Amino acid sequence: MKQQAGDSQPGYPDGTQRERVPVLIFDESEQLSLQVARRIANLIEERNAVGDSLVLGLPTGSTPIGVYEHLVRMHREDGLDFSRVVTFNLDEYYPMSPESLQSYHRFMRENLFDHVNIPAENIHIPSGEVPREDVEAWCQRYEFEIQKAGGIDLMLLGIGRSGHIGFNEPGSGLQTRTRAIVLDEITRKDAASDFFGDDNVPREAITMGVGTILDAREVILIATGEHKAPIVCRAVEEEPTKEVTAGFLQLHRDATFYLDRAAASELTREKTPWQVRAVEWDEALAKRAVIWLSEKVGRAILRLEESDFHRQHLHSLVSVWPDTDALCRKVFEDLRRRVAYEEELPRDQKVIVFSPHPDDDVISMGGMLDKLVQNGNQVTVAYMTNGSVAVFDADVRRYLHFLEMSLPELDGHALEEAVSDLRNSLANKEPGQIDSPRVQRAKAFIRYAEAVSAIEVMGLGREQARFLDMPFYQTGMVRKNPIGEEDVRIVRELMDELSPDHIFVAGDLSDPHGTHRMCYKAIAKAVTSYHSDHGLELQPTVWLYRGAWQEWEIDRADVFVPLSKADLARKIEAIFKHESQKDRAMFPGAYDAREFWERARDRNVRTAEALNALGLPEFYAVEAYVTVAELP
């Protein structure tokens, strides 16, 4: 049932009246990247046609990589000519060698400059090697070079989780110019994954200022992923302040935010669209509004009254569903039917649990995994990457101590030689340096052994664990290669071998290092191929879970799995087996000091509390899942 209802907003039929800067929303990040690349390509072609140069301001980080990939493809396949392009990069760590793995000089070469024909003399990147006493003068020259080039025509930006653009941390003012700056704690924690620990992240950087950025003729800010949604909302819908420097783009004459739907999810027009525009009230949107109303007024769904709808300006919903009691019962029953007890879950079937890292299975769906085993399913846990970059050197040394103490009994010369080689590799390693292949493998085996120990808590063993060790991950760095045919083949062959009735896939795509998103992409391609070859008769049910970073929203979840206190305790016990990730994980994320087991516990308990507040049974804890016929 779909009807148009609600009060229209003059001048804002799309519900953008709370947005203080133009925003374009794309269903997928790939669409966003292509659109931005096309905009840049069009500007290049326009300038080339009249023999003029185009001056670009460019960022680094994971967000613009898709844009750079499209530009490289356009150069190779379509002959896009970059010979008149002039570039100025936003920032660089200080101090930083241009050859360092974490250097933005190296990042730009690897992702763009080595693959297009921009003349070397046209490329400008802040230097991380300037003597400290010369930094101020160097920054002034950088500003002069920008002006000498005629100013920046198009500035491309990302946004940090503290709301910074460039490295303009909270507190940066409108008039700031290129300068050295001390990095914010959140920024350093976000960068920790690239440096193998936040202790190795430089304390300072050189960055263009807010004023420099606002001088550009056009600005495009791109943001993807649910983890960017809260700060994007602040930058777009709140008054600009020094606390969120991206908000200053509201003052620019031609600035636009390009967002994927995940990054836009906290904007009013996406989260609660009925507050800003006339909406088409279908059952899904009505359900979301009723849940929102229940949470807003603090009463269970079945205790809501018609007056509550009117007080919260849901007149249009009442006009479509005048019997609000019936609507509330409908939403309540819909939620109640989504609660799946153990006897309602799959039984005696074949299941593959795809775990991006060797701990995502128990952190994200340890309760479900336990119940699947109890129900007699043939469960295989496929660990897609080895997780080696998230292991501290100290963990390797701990196991080396064990081996060295055991060597007299083992009496193995080859083992003694291997231990010596590992110890020397660790001793000679510089901060942030890639591990040697042997150290990487040792760290992988640490994660593998922990994974097996964890699923043993659930009644599984080594024979139920598959370690896929997908090639895209095998860089030795946090920055990974793109998903390739070999990655997809590995997933597809496992599906062909096991013919699963159900597959579980990580649906939280906002892990700080992007591995979940890349694993999802590989699985989606493999599933599409599998469907194409086998048809509907072998089409598995796809379950999407979320993990340490977030949980499915109540209105979006298809299945709620209740956990008793004992169930949750067993899940936590399994998480504890991942000792290398306990107490102090390598990549905990910027905002959350809790350990992963605490996040899992608190998330599951909060979901139960949210359902209880809506009037459902008072469970101890709950895991939530979304089921889909195919992966988008």
User: Average pLDDT of 361-372?
Assistant: 97
Q: In DSSP terms, which residues pair with 378 in a beta bridge?
A: 350
C-beta atoms surrounding 414 within 10 Å: 7
Helix, strand, coil percent content, the chain, rounded in steps of 5: 50, 15, 40
Q: Is 333 known to be catalytic?
A: no
Cα 435 to Cα 197, 478, 577: the distances in Å are 13, 12, 24
Asked if CATH classification 3.90.1150.10 holds for the domain at 342-391+436-628, the reply, yes or no, is no
Which pLDDT score is estimated for 413? 67
> Which tens digits make up the pLDDT trace of 173-222?
999 999 999 998 878 877 776 776 777 889 999 999 999 999 999 999 99
Nearest to 625 by CA among 331, 434, 371: 371
Confidence of residue 514 (pLDDT cuts 50, 70, 90): confident
User: Average pLDDT of 583-602?
Assistant: 71
Q: Within its chain, how far is the Cα of 458 from the centroid?
A: 28
- 4-269: which CATH architecture? 3-Layer(aba) Sandwich (3.40)
Q: Do domains 4-269 and 342-391+436-628 have the same CATH topology?
A: yes
User: Average pLDDT of 441-446?
Assistant: 84
Between helix 283-297 and helix 596-613 the angle, nearest 10°, is: 100
Which pLDDT score is estimated for 4? 40
pLDDT, greater one: 513 or 339: 339
Q: In DSSP terms, which residues pair with 255 in a beta bridge?
A: 219
Catalytic residue among 69, 92, 169, 237: 169
Task: Report the first-to-last Cα separation within the chain, whole angstroms.
Answer: 25
381 contacts 467 by C-beta, under 8 angstroms:
no
- Locate tokens 């003349």: which residue? 119
Which pLDDT score is estimated for 387? 81
Buried b (16+ CB within 10 A) or exposed e, 133-172: eebeebbeebbeebeebeebbbbbbbbbbbbbbbbbbbeb
571 contacts 360 by C-beta, under 8 angstroms:
no
- Locate tokens 């967000």: which residue? 63
User: Average pLDDT of 424-447?
Assistant: 80
Domain ranges of the chain: 4-269, 283-337, 342-391+436-628
Distance CA 331, CA 323 (A): 13
> Which tens digits make up the pLDDT trace of 124-157?
999 999 999 999 999 999 999 999 999 999 999 9
Q: What mean pLDDT, rounded, does the chain reach?
A: 90
Per-residue pLDDT at 463 exceeds 70: yes
Q: Within 13 A of 315's CA, how many CA atoms are on the CB side?
A: 8
> Which tens digits make up the pLDDT trace of 380-423?
999 999 887 777 788 888 877 766 666 665 556 676 777 787 78
User: Average pLDDT of 484-488?
Assistant: 93
> Which tens digits make up the pLDDT trace of 295-313?
999 999 999 999 999 999 9
DSSP code at position 479 = S
